[in-house]
Amino acid sequence: MGNLVNLNRRQLLGGGLAGASILLGACGGGSTPSSSGSSTTGAAKALRAAGSRPRPDLPVGTDQVPQIEHFVVVMMENHSFDNVLGLIGRGDGFTLGADGHPTAKNPDGHGNDVHAFHMPTECQTKGVGNDWKVTHEAYDNGTCQGFVTSTSAEAMGYFTSDDMPFTCGMAKTFPIADRYFSSAMAQTDPNRRYLIAGTSLGLIDDTFPSELPPNGVIFQQFDRHGITWKDYYSTLPTIGIFLPLLESGTMSHGLAKIDQFYADAAAGTLPAFSLIEPDYGKQSEEDPQDVQFGDQFMGQVVDAVMSGPNWSSTMLIWTYDEHGGYYDHVPPPAAIPPDDVAPALKPGDPPGGFDRYGFRVPSGVVSPYAKKDFVSHTIYDHTSILKTVEEKWNLPALTRRDANANSLFDMLDLHKRPAFKTPPRLPAAADPTPKAGCLNSGAGVIPPPAAVTRA
């Protein structure tokens, strides 16, 4: 498996997946912490260091949130907040004009404006980009006016509840976060590294360098302190973004196929922490996929949790790894660098560091303790998931970023009768079968002619 180190992520999920499958086939209470403010960068509080505990006066492993016994994390791919949730009527989405349509627009570099438009079908093309260069050009010094010129007009496309009925219905019912940013202005793998390690270790693209984070990944913390976990994967587990960990087999005890998740959820035997992985070639919603396959997957996962015996003590967190190149109107704010490792820039890459978040991504929580009619405006990123479990078990922070992140507990009310003790009825997930033909016939005319006007 050593040759996998030289593969990029798309190769691994494609031709390289067979080799990965061979490897994976052998794998088989105190007081409740509260969010510490609206920003991880406020000067009003002293910054914590990597290795510090949320409660230094308590031993590592102290359960501070006994109400929550199970965390379930679902991370989809490549969509911005505005692209998925901009029109649900909750949170800081699109501004609408007198005609009821979004007023957002971007110049195309040829004297035209491309206005935000409803995608013609549930399918995408490969017309948007999300690498370091493209993302910084889209940011455009905070104006967010470089999305089209950095990639294509498809960046201004968006989906609605007609396209993604379950995801949007869930976001209308349970709390969402309209200031949840991806962790870095970079692609999938760097952002997923933040999810499990609190740092990309300098990575800005979808490659697989062999270096490992000095403080390990969160799964190793779990093992060290007797906290059960599983990475339930469909095609490839996220642990593979640090390939030496996957190749060594040291994490194999925590890997399980997705069917086992559904079985464990039904039996009430979910571990303390579950990471749920879609089929990255079909269900993750990355372009050029049909997003309805992702909506269906999300519905299946959430339904399994809500209908299972562990529901009463579960906090499900759903999010996307990064914006995928799609427009978002909120410029990412400054962030705390996770460590002293600089970005591995290549010739032609714009200068920058890990001192700024990436663009917003759709995110929320599903739990019996979730606050009703609540939208969080607190700044989060993927390390907020780390901070949430660190607060639960008083675990040492992996980096400066997660040490000072805001936890997601502010979307729960742990001191009242659970508002969703009885799971609510959510809209049926999309059935992608009737319209799956767009994967063969095409995504339609992008942009629609009416979306382009002279500036």
The pLDDT tens digits for 261-319 are: 999 999 999 999 999 999 999 999 999 999 999 999 999 999 999 999 999 999 999 99
Output the average pLDDT for the chain.
Answer: 91
Give, to the nearest 10 degrees, the angle between helix 188-197 and helix 383-393. Answer: 10
The amino acid sitting at 377 is H
Please check the confidence at residue 109 and state whether its pLDDT lies above 70.
yes
Give the mean model confidence (pLDDT) for residues 405-418: 97
Whether this prediction's pTM lies above 0.85 is answered by yes
Give the mean model confidence (pLDDT) for residues 190-209: 96
pLDDT band at residue 45, thresholds of 50, 70 and 90? confident
Whether omega for the bond prior to residue 214 falls within 30 degrees of 0, making it cis, is no
Long-range contacts of 253-257 (CB under 8 A, 24+ apart): 253/27, 253/28, 254/219, 254/222, 254/223, 254/229, 254/230, 255/24, 255/27, 255/28, 255/230, 255/231, 256/27, 256/28, 256/230, 256/231, 256/232, 257/232, 257/233
- Alpha-carbon distance 296 to 428, whole Å? 9
The amino acid sitting at 359 is F
- Alpha-carbon distance 159 to 139, whole Å? 21
pLDDT band at residue 438, thresholds of 50, 70 and 90? confident
Q: How distant is the alpha carbon of residue 235 from its chain centre?
A: 17
pLDDT for 2: 35
Q: What is the dihedral of CA 214, 216, 218, 222, to 10 degrees?
A: -130
pLDDT band at residue 434, thresholds of 50, 70 and 90? confident
Please check the confidence at residue 10 and state whether its pLDDT lies above 80.
no
Q: Homologous superfamily of 2-31+39-89+164-430 in CATH?
A: Alkaline Phosphatase, subunit A (3.40.720.10)
- Alpha-carbon distance 388 to 104, whole Å? 34
Which residues fall within 8 angstroms of residue 250, CB to CB, at 6 or more apart? none
- What does residue 155 show for φ and ψ, rounded to 5 degrees? -60, -25
The amino acid sitting at 66 is P
Please check the confidence at residue 139 and state whether its pLDDT lies above 70.
yes
